[in-house]
Amino acid sequence: MNTVTLKVNGKPARAEIEPRMHLADFLRDTQNLTGTHIGCEHGVCGACTILVDGVPTRSCITFAVACEQADVTTVEGLDADEVAMELRAAFTKEHGLQCGYCTPGMIVSARDVVLRLDDPTEHEIRVAMSGNLCRCTGYVGIVRAIQSVISARRARGIAAIPGGEHRTTLGPAGSGHGAAATLTGSASTKRPTLTVAKSEVRADAKPAAAPARQEADWKPQTTFTESFVVGHPVEDVWAFFDRIGEVASCLPGASLAGEPVDGHVEGQIRIKVGPISAEFQGVADVSRDDATKTGTIDGAGKDKRSNSATRGLIGYAVKPGDKPGETRVDVSIGYTLTGVLAQFGRSGLVQDVAGRLIAAFVQNLEAKLAHQAGGGEPGASAPPVVTELDAGSLVSSVILGRLKRFFAALFGRR
């Protein structure tokens, strides 16, 4: 994890993030500035355009750690900006927006055009705005809006700024901070180099599999709790949880690469999310406390195919249930998910899916404990009841369940 400090919309912003987190996710996930929209995530559509040190920047392909100490302005920070106010009025008058998804990036880029170009033709405006795509308007209203603002400002004697504001440093947006730090020799203010950032995401790099114990200060982005009850005594359940291989076999799609060594284990889990098949290779540190019957699993993994990565911290407590011979297990789950699969990572949806995944785990756990209670040997338990996780079908069932609850509540009030 890296600590990054920026000035966002005139206020200091600081967060601990993964080195590969891009600036758009930093703004949306840690600062709740959702006016920055994410579209293509390839720097093509321009929906995520913001200002970094006054320069329009694609935040979906800019590493947040590469912007240490930079001055970042999002569309929310342009509320009182004179040019942005004029553009918003012009976009409304000329019908330059429909669904509005591209509009924040359009306003930021259009502001730059208004400041830079003295008396552009329609063609020149279209070329200047070609990095911002709109699927609704056909661009006619957008171009007219920009033309009208430029004409009105020039008529008031406001001249263009050759090169635009703040364009004084050659290199990536915001790189002036790095140059200044190098010239002054101040190690405390020198920002991370792009070479380091690129090394974090090389296409041929192996998945990061550093033991979780090396990042003791890591904090999950999302945390929630679940509980379940099994019809077996506490001592049996607690003893079962010590056999990590059997525990992993209860989790659909999970398998270990070998037996744990000093609480450290390597393994994988396979999942499907609609058309996407992912296989997370990772490591985990496992600890148990016999006195309190509590334990933790701290792990991380990465899927090469989708370039998605996850880090999770699971805590569990085993205690007597409400009825004799029953055991209650309370589980807390904290996680961070990045990459393609992060689009399925809305906390509410993940919590619902996790509940269904835990239900499958409990089915398998009950089957194994029942097999052992019937005289079967530990380690040679009955095969799992649920063997594969298809998160796509789980997500569908979650959505269907929510719709049923919505209509039940709607018609139940009448």
Query: In the structure encoding, which two tokens stand for residue 203, read together?
Result: 């296409």
Residue 279: which region, alpha, beta or left (left: phi > 0; alpha: psi -120 to 50)? beta
Answer positive or negative: Cα dihedral of 339, 343, 344, 347: positive
Domain boundaries, the chain: 1-205, 212-412
Going by pLDDT thresholds of 50, 70 and 90, the confidence category of residue 234 is very high
361-387 confidence digits (pLDDT tens): 888 888 888 887 776 555 545 555 555
- Are domains 1-205 and 212-412 of this chain identical in fold? no
Which range among 155-164, 202-211, 239-248, 388-397 shows the weakest confidence by mean pLDDT?
202-211
CATH of the structural domain 212-412, one choice from 3.30.530.20, 3.40.640.10, 3.40.50.720, 3.10.450.50: 3.30.530.20
Confidence grade of residue 410 (pLDDT, cut at 50, 70, 90): low
Backbone angles phi, psi at 29, to 5 degrees: -85, -35
* Averaged pLDDT for residues 131-150: 94
Cβ 137 vs Cβ 179: under 8 Å: no
Nearest 5°: the CA angle 304, 307, 312 is 95
CATH assignment, 1-205: 3.10.20.30
The predicted-structure confidence for 75-95, as pLDDT tens digits, reads as follows 999 999 999 999 999 999 999
The tokens describing 402, both together, are 């929510």
Complete DSSP assignment for 265-312: EEEEEEEEETTEEEEEEEEEEEEEETTTTEEEEEEEEEETTTTEEEEE
Give whichever of 6-10, 163-167, 278-282, 354-358 has the largest mean pLDDT.
6-10
Are 228 and 358 a contacting pair, CB within 8 Å?
Answer: yes
Of 158 and 171, more confident: 158
Q: Residue holding tokens 């999302």?
A: 222
Higher model confidence: residue 78 or residue 358? 78
